[in-house]
Structure 1
Amino acid sequence: MQPYYGITIDKQDQEHLYIQVYKHLRTLIFNNSIKPHEKLPPIRKLSAILGVNNVTVVNAYKLLEEDALVYKKIGSGTYVAPVEDELENERDMEERHRIVPYDFSVSSPTADLFPVKDFKIVIDEVLERDKGYAFGYHESQGFFPFRQSLSAMFGGSKVALDPDQIQIISGAQQGIDLVAKSVLDYGDYVFVEAPTYTGALASFKLKGALIVEIPILEDGIDLEALSQQAKKLKPKLIYVMPNFQNPTGYCYSVEKKRGLIEIAKSCGAWILEDDYAADLNTGDALVSPLSAYDPYDRIIYVKSFSKVLMPGLRLGYMVVPEALQDEIALAKHATDISTSGLLQRAFDLYIRKGLWDRQIVLMKRIYDKRHAVISRYLKSHEVPWVHYHLPQGGYNYWITMDAALNADELMWRLNKKGVAVLSGSTFYHLQLKSSSFRLSIAAIDEKEIEAGLGIIFNEIEAMYHEMSGSKPGLMKSQVL
């Protein structure tokens, strides 16, 4: 019941209580705080926990069911529905596509983009070469030749990296969890971008940290707000995504990167850099890691490979400051001893053969085409009640509507028309309302993008005119 006791309901808010309950439960589902097929609390139990009546919880559960986030078992209760990562086979994927043909909510590539043949070759070669040793226990820090390969690859960012600084992890989420366990104590302040990745918020909250949201601007975190709060609260950790931030797609300027590092140094905070999608840059986007500008060794760098390959490939690495290496190593060993040895050896060979570089080129080519389609559409369908930012890479677009419009309502309306987006309220710690939403092009092709955007913009226009009482008519607007 632990996740449910963290839900706060504001009875003074004009928003209906059942909507607030629904949003909180939806966030718990999205950030995996409650797992697929896990039973939700009985209505009376949750009502008592939240201090609301039974009807409020009933209505919240109904909304979750309408959004296909839960399912009912007669005589048993309400359960969390499986998310896309847990779909069992291709038929399930086809069924999801039939129900949601225009899916802008998924932030991982589709299975057809996974280099199956290449991976089969390297796995077979590793098994032939290493025999049963590939399945044995491995050093908790990670397979040393793999760390050497990563050190050389990281050197491409013009940052010298010793293999001993690298900790292999089972995905970026595990890396964030390890940092939370190693660095944070109950009551410590953690500063995060607003909006941000909710999986990180969940890790920090489970450690009892106090989360402070700092607005993110088009060129990076708001340094003035960060500096003011840092002087008052002395955060232990600052969590950021400087390159193609999730969900906004924003990139930090060099000035913002340097300013962030200086503020963190002045208040004694560690910086946790989540490299979400820096590989997928286009044009002249600046994608150097923060460590390229850090003379203080205060940055913990976390990188996952799942966003370029597949979400089920739970593999990544951390670059750990010397002062934290022992604590991180102990936390890793206590969590799962070590990451899959076979996977580490296979990916090491995958890198050494140049296949990783080739896959990056392929993925960038695919996403460049999708970026071109969505950019062209947005520029040709500008309206005064919609603002947007064109990212220089990654696969997320942050769309902001007129302040009077509610992104949650848009999400519900689009869901009924076979279009999936994620409301901006999903990506905040406390904010329950948002006029922004995230579009992801990770799992939708060019033809579907244009058709899906047509449905989205028609629905936004309908909402705007319902709100204003005006007649439809397109006008030019500002690009953020």
Structure 2
Amino acid sequence: MSFQYQSLAQHISQKIYHGELTVGQRLSSLRQFAEQHEVSLNTAKSCYELLEAQGLIYVKAKAGYFVKAPSDQGRIIAQPEHLDFAAEAKEVSNLELQIEIHEASISHELIHLGSIQLSPNLIPIDALRRSIQRALKHSKPEDFLYSDRQGHVKLREALSAHWAEDGIFIAKDEIYISNGCMPALSTVIQNLTDVGDSIIIPTPNYNGQLQLLATLKRKILEIPAHADGFDIDRLEQAMRDSSSKVCLLTANFQNPLGFCLSHAEKEKIAKLAAKYQCFVIEDDIYAECAYSLKRPLPIQYWDHEGYVIYCGSVSKSLSPSYRLGWFCLPSRLKHLRAKILTQNVAVNTPLQLGLADLIYSRAYREHLNQLKPKLMKQVEQYRQFIMQTFEGIEIRINQPQGGYALWIQMPEQIDSLKMYRYAQQQSINIVPGLVFGEDQRYNNCIRLNAGHELSDDIKHAIQLLANWAKTQL
């Protein structure tokens, strides 16, 4: 599913390439464009911002938007292709390699193209500081004692109110605060499955989740994912025919492909979960990194039977250093509450209160509104620069609808693990594709982080990767 502004941008770009819109021609104003296409002003603005990032239009102060001469830098980029394969339960291999790559991806000594994280320049540091100071100033004596293992009630109330603004209604009593998204997933997985059980998961999929499942000694049952999502019929087949009673899914801006499932697909998944009594652990960590102003709804929105466990964190939308995440237990799983509370490690109270203040002060909402257009423009700059730098090599790059993970598919003879080793020697951080699934299906792919500004150092690093790839051909 493409967002409306992306479809409109593609339509206009085709007109530019075909000469229907000429160089220097003035485009409709944002308001006129919105009226012509019966869309909101925000959708029109997002469309023009994407075209500007692609180098197809430019803006003149107080004059409007104009068509720019199309160049190779602004050409339409092909989406990655992915193989079809039969689902088969198996263990996650190469755990040691998974751990090595994960540790390297967060190294501060290497150029940040590995771990998916925001540049410090995109983090509202001053607002965070003010919120923590206010939270400490207004804290109560009991806030300095052992904290509630479910999480401070102020943060749970703040999250519940924050989500309600986006049409997601989860009561504070269903929310459990954790030390990040991965601990949340770990707690839920351990309470719904046993060692040796298999979990349905679309691949290519975030390597950190695969590493977690390997550490917990759970098997995976892979179904094919692609640039637009994954085959819901294959998901149903796996739910129906396998012994797996849990699946781990990201519906909004999945890492590494960046797709966003449609409302109809999400609703169908919720119904399938109830039909086959197969729990869906929904990792919605990137939802607030949408390029459109409106946050997409999660699968949980359509869950009426209590088979979806909603998980998330602020590590991708705010800061990974906060280590604040959550999971939401539906009433069907309330019998697990006592056991979960004994397993859930208490979270730093001042940070919980600081985040609650950030939400209630509206500073978090303001940060998100400012972040979204910056991310869209920055990610597109990366895509265009990578395409330009790898000229002469037939590569394909995903077009994320949110988030800032880039998935690059290269010719089959290019070994992503060898590229990873070469990059390390050059003090560059990347993640090779083979750790995003089994059977080395994605060994000619790499994932790059586009969360940092496209600086000269990062451009140089991408150029080195392109030069190395050319030597392999």
Which bin holds the TM-score, normalised by the shorter protein?
A: 0.7 to 0.9
**Does the 8 Å contact 1:234/1:268 carry over to 2?**
no
After superposition, the C-alpha distances for 1:284-315 in whole angstroms (9 at most, x for unaligned) are: 88721112233332111111111222222111
Q: Of residues 87, 93, 96 in structure 2, which corresponds to 1:25? A: 96
Structure 1 segment 213-228 matched on structure 2, within 5 A: 213-228=222-237
How does the TM-score come out when normalised to structure 1?
Answer: 0.72
Q: Of residues 333, 339, 345 in structure 1, which corresponds to 2:342? A: 333
| Residue 406 to residue 197, structure 1, CA distance change in 2 (3 Å) | same
- Bigger drift between 113-122 and 244-253 goes to 113-122
Structure 1 segment 437-448 matched on structure 2, within 5 A: 437-448=446-457
Structure 1 position 289 matched with structure 2 position 298: yes
Q: Of residues 366, 371, 376 in structure 2, which corresponds to 1:363? A: 371
Q: What code does the residue aligned with 1:347 have?
A: L
* Distance (whole Å) between structure 1 residues aligned to residue 201 and residue 139 of structure 2: 43
Q: Equivalent pairs: percent with the same residue?
A: 22
**Does the 8 Å contact 1:190/1:239 carry over to 2?**
yes
Q: Of residues 166, 178, 182 in structure 1, which corresponds to 2:191? A: 182
User: 1:384: how far off?
Assistant: 6.0
**Does the 8 Å contact 1:285/1:393 carry over to 2?**
no
SS in 2 for 1:312: helix
Q: Of residues 293, 306, 310 in structure 1, which corresponds to 2:315? A: 306
Residue in structure 1 matched with residue 69 of structure 2 by the alignment: none
Aligned residues: 380
The ranges of structure 1 where at least 4 consecutive aligned residues each deviate by more than 6 angstroms after the TM superposition are none
* Distance (whole Å) between structure 2 residues aligned to residue 25 and residue 207 of structure 1: 14
* Distance (whole Å) between structure 2 residues aligned to residue 208 and residue 376 of structure 1: 40
* Distance (whole Å) between structure 1 residues aligned to residue 375 and residue 427 of structure 2: 22
For structure 2, which runs of at least 5 residues remain unmatched after alignment?
Answer: 1-92
| Residue 331 to residue 436, structure 1, CA distance change in 2 (3 Å) | same
How does the TM-score come out when normalised to structure 2?
Answer: 0.73
After superposition, the C-alpha distances for 1:381-436 in whole angstroms (9 at most, x for unaligned) are: 66562112111220001111122321112222333344322101122255376111
Residue in structure 2 matched with residue 468 of structure 1 by the alignment: none
**Does the 8 Å contact 1:23/1:432 carry over to 2?**
no
Residue in structure 2 matched with residue 211 of structure 1 by the alignment: 220
**Does the 8 Å contact 1:184/1:207 carry over to 2?**
no
Structure 1 position 84 matched with structure 2 position 106: yes
User: 1:142: how far off?
Assistant: 1.8
| Residue 403 to residue 119, structure 1, CA distance change in 2 (3 Å) | same
**Does the 8 Å contact 2:210/2:436 carry over to 1?**
no
* Distance (whole Å) between structure 1 residues aligned to residue 217 and residue 116 of structure 2: 28
**Does the 8 Å contact 2:197/2:218 carry over to 1?**
yes
**Does the 8 Å contact 1:180/1:203 carry over to 2?**
no
* Distance (whole Å) between structure 1 residues aligned to residue 462 and residue 398 of structure 2: 15
* Distance (whole Å) between structure 2 residues aligned to residue 347 and residue 146 of structure 1: 7
Residue in structure 1 matched with residue 432 of structure 2 by the alignment: 423
Q: What code does the residue aligned with 2:354 have?
A: A
Structure 1 position 234 matched with structure 2 position 234: no
**Does the 8 Å contact 1:141/1:329 carry over to 2?**
no
User: 1:379: how far off?
Assistant: 5.4
Structure 1 segment 14-413 matched on structure 2, within 5 A: 24-31=95-102, 84=106, 93=108, 96=109, 100-101=110-111, 103-283=112-292, 287-328=296-337, 330-336=339-345, 338-378=346-386, 380=388, 385-413=394-422
Q: What code does the residue aligned with 2:382 have?
A: I
User: 1:133: how far off?
Assistant: 2.8
SS in 2 for 1:403: coil
User: 1:266: how far off?
Assistant: 2.9
After superposition, the C-alpha distances for 1:121-150 in whole angstroms (9 at most, x for unaligned) are: 222222222254322222222222221111
SS in 1 for 2:139: helix
- Bigger drift between 421-430 and 283-292 goes to 283-292
| Residue 311 to residue 226, structure 1, CA distance change in 2 (3 Å) | same
Q: Of residues 447, 462, 477 in structure 1, which corresponds to 2:471? A: 462
* Distance (whole Å) between structure 2 residues aligned to residue 312 and residue 326 of structure 1: 32
**Does the 8 Å contact 1:370/1:446 carry over to 2?**
no
| Residue 126 to residue 420, structure 1, CA distance change in 2 (3 Å) | closer
